Structure 1
Amino acid sequence: MCEQSKLSRRNFLGSAAALGGLFLLPPHLKALQDAVMDIPVSADGTGYEKVLWRYKDFPMTQVRMRDGVLKNALEINRQYLYLVPNDRLLHTFRLTAGLPTSAEPLGGWEAPDCELRGHFAGGHYLSACALMYASTGDEKIKAKGDALVAELAKCQQPDGYLSAFPASFFDRLRHYQKVWAPFYTYHKIMAGHLDMYVHTGNQQALETCKRMADWAIEYTKPIPADQWQRMLLVEQGGMNEVSFNLYAVTGEKKYRDLGFRFEHKLIFDPLAKREDHLAGNHANTNIPKVIGAARGYEVADDKRYHTIAEFFWGAVTSQHAYATGGTSDGEFWHKPGTLAEHLGPAAEECCCSYNMMKLSRHLYGWTGDPRIFDYYERLMYNVRIGTQDPKGMLMYYVSLKPGYWKTFGTPFDAFWCCTGTGVEEYSKVNDSIYFHDAKNIYVNLFAGSEVQWPEKNVSLVQETNFPLEEATTLTVRAQKPSAFGLKIRVPYWATNGFTIHINGQPQSVEAKPESYATLHRTWHDGDTIKVSMPMSLHISPIPDSPDVQAVLYGPLVLAGEMGRHGLTEKQIYGDSGPFSDKENYPMPELLTASGQAGEAIERLPGGELRFATANQQQTMHLKPLYQIMDERYTVYWKVNRKTV
Structure 2
Amino acid sequence: MLITRRVLLGSASILAVSLSAGGALAQIAASAQRRVEPVPLRHVRLRPSLFADSLAANRDYLLALDPERLLHNFYRSANLPAPQPVYGGWEAMGIAGHSLGHWLTGCALIVAGSDDAQIAGRLDHALAEMARIQAAHGDGYLGGTTVERDGETVDGKVVFEEVRRGDIRSGGFDLNGGWVPLYTWHKVHAGLLDAHMLAGNPRAMPIMLGLATYLADVLEPLTDAQLQRVLHAEHGGLNETYAETYALTGDPRWLRLAERIRHKAVLDPLTAQTDRLAGLHANTQIPKVIGLARLHELTGDPAHAATVRFFHQTVTGHHTYVIGGNSEREHFGEPDRLSTRITEATCEACNSYNMMKLTRHLYSWQPEARWFDYYERVQLNHIMAHQRPSDGRFVYFMPLAAGARRVYSSPEDSFWCCVGSGMESHAKHGDSIWWADEDTLYLNLFIPSELDWAERNLAVTLDTAMPLDGSATLTVRRAPRTTHAIAVRLPGWAEGAALTLNGEPASFATRNGYAVLQRRWRAGDTIGVTLPMTLQAEPTPDDPATVAFTHGPLVLAADLGSADEQFGGIGPALIATGAATTALAADGAGRFRAAGALGEELRLLPFFNQYDRRAAVYFRTFTPDGWAAAREEYVQAAEASQALARRTVDVLYLGEMQPERDHQFASDRSEVVNWSGRSARRLRPGESLQVLLARRPGPAILRLMVAKGDVDRRMIVSVDGQELATGTAPGVTVGNLAAVDYIIPSAGEQGRDHAEVQVTADKEDAVVYEMRMMAPEAAST
**TM-score (structure 2 length as normaliser):** 0.73
Pairwise mapping of residues 29-108 of structure 1 onto structure 2 (< 5 A)?
Answer: 40-42=19-21, 47-52=26-31, 53-108=34-89
Within 1, Cα distance between the matches of 2:214 and 2:514? 47
Q: Which residue matches 1:241?
A: 240
**2:106 matches 1:128:** yes
Structure 2 letter corresponding to 1:547: A
Whether the 8 Å contact between 1:124 and 1:420 is mirrored in structure 2 is yes
Q: Which residue matches 1:624?
A: 606
Whether the 8 Å contact between 1:597 and 1:637 is mirrored in structure 2 is no
Q: Which residue matches 1:552?
A: 550
Within 1, Cα distance between the matches of 2:532 and 2:212? 51
Pairwise mapping of residues 165-176 of structure 1 onto structure 2 (< 5 A)?
Answer: 165=145, 166-170=156-160, 171=162, 174-176=168-170
Residues 1:584 and 1:277: Cα distance change in structure 2 (over 3 Å):
farther
Question: Aligned-pair distance for 1:510?
Answer: 5.8
Question: Aligned-pair distance for 1:103?
Answer: 1.5
Structure 2 letter corresponding to 1:636: Y
Within 2, Cα distance between the matches of 1:565 and 1:346? 16
Deviations 1:60-108 (A, max 9, x none): 0111111112111111111111111222222221122111124132001
**2:533 matches 1:535:** yes
Question: Aligned-pair distance for 1:283?
Answer: 0.4
Which 4+ stretches in 1 moved above 4 angstroms?
36-39, 43-47
Q: Which one has more relative contact order, counting CA pairs under 8 Å at least 6 apart? A: 1
Residue in structure 1 matching 2:575, options 591, 605, 621? 591
Q: Which residue matches 1:117?
A: 96
Q: Which residue matches 2:689?
A: none
Q: Look up the SS of the partner of 1:200 in the other structure.
A: coil
Question: Unmatched 5+ residue regions in structure 1?
Answer: 1-35, 569-582
Using the TM superposition, name which of 160-169 and 423-432 deviates more: 160-169
Whether the 8 Å contact between 2:537 and 2:548 is mirrored in structure 1 is yes
Q: Look up the SS of the partner of 2:402 in the other structure.
A: coil
Within 2, Cα distance between the matches of 1:152 and 1:58? 31
Within 1, Cα distance between the matches of 2:491 and 2:198? 31
Residues 1:455 and 1:439: Cα distance change in structure 2 (over 3 Å):
farther
Within 1, Cα distance between the matches of 2:22 and 2:564? 66
**2:531 matches 1:522:** no
Within 1, Cα distance between the matches of 2:564 and 2:43? 48
Question: Aligned-pair distance for 1:455?
Answer: 5.1
Residues 1:479 and 1:640: Cα distance change in structure 2 (over 3 Å):
closer
Question: Aligned-pair distance for 1:163?
Answer: 0.5
Q: Look up the SS of the partner of 1:305 in the other structure.
A: helix
Deviations 1:312-351 (A, max 9, x none): 0010000000111101111010111111111121110000
Within 1, Cα distance between the matches of 2:79 and 2:22? 44
Equivalenced residue count is 587
Structure 1 letter corresponding to 2:526: T
Structure 1 letter corresponding to 2:128: A
Question: Aligned-pair distance for 1:623?
Answer: 1.0
Question: Aligned-pair distance for 1:565?
Answer: 6.9
Deviations 1:421-452 (A, max 9, x none): 11111111111001111111111100111123
Within 1, Cα distance between the matches of 2:596 and 2:223? 67
**2:623 matches 1:641:** yes
Residues 1:43 and 1:542: Cα distance change in structure 2 (over 3 Å):
closer
Q: Look up the SS of the partner of 1:288 in the other structure.
A: helix
Within 2, Cα distance between the matches of 1:425 and 1:41? 32
Within 1, Cα distance between the matches of 2:19 and 2:284? 32
Structure 2 letter corresponding to 1:224: T
Residues 1:479 and 1:276: Cα distance change in structure 2 (over 3 Å):
closer
Greater strand share, structure number: 2
Among the aligned pairs, what percent are the same residue? 37
Structure 2 letter corresponding to 1:591: I
Question: Aligned-pair distance for 1:47?
Answer: 4.4
Q: Which residue matches 1:302?
A: 301
Within 1, Cα distance between the matches of 2:314 and 2:563? 38
Pairwise mapping of residues 282-321 of structure 1 onto structure 2 (< 5 A)?
Answer: 282-321=281-320
Pairwise mapping of residues 22-421 of structure 1 onto structure 2 (< 5 A)?
Answer: 40-42=19-21, 47-52=26-31, 53-111=34-92, 114-121=93-100, 123-156=101-134, 157-165=137-145, 166-170=156-160, 171=162, 174-176=168-170, 177-389=176-388, 390-421=390-421
Question: Unmatched 5+ residue regions in structure 2?
Answer: 1-14, 146-155, 171-175, 627-781
Within 1, Cα distance between the matches of 2:126 and 2:17? 22
Q: Look up the SS of the partner of 1:486 in the other structure.
A: strand
Residues 1:210 and 1:43: Cα distance change in structure 2 (over 3 Å):
closer
Using the TM superposition, name which of 517-526 and 366-375 deviates more: 517-526
Question: Aligned-pair distance for 1:38?
Answer: 8.4
Deviations 1:574-611 (A, max 9, x none): xxxxxxxxx665431100112x3321112213x5x332
Within 1, Cα distance between the matches of 2:479 and 2:437? 21
Using the TM superposition, name which of 448-457 and 517-526 deviates more: 448-457
Whether the 8 Å contact between 2:350 and 2:421 is mirrored in structure 1 is yes
Q: Which has the larger radius of gyration?
A: 2
Q: Look up the SS of the partner of 1:398 in the other structure.
A: coil
Structure 1 letter corresponding to 2:546: V
Within 2, Cα distance between the matches of 1:324 and 1:200? 32
Q: Which residue matches 2:478?
A: 478
Structure 1 letter corresponding to 2:37: K
Within 2, Cα distance between the matches of 1:357 and 1:317? 11
Structure 2 letter corresponding to 1:51: A
**TM-score (structure 1 length as normaliser):** 0.88
Structure 1 letter corresponding to 2:126: L
Whether the 8 Å contact between 1:456 and 1:482 is mirrored in structure 2 is no
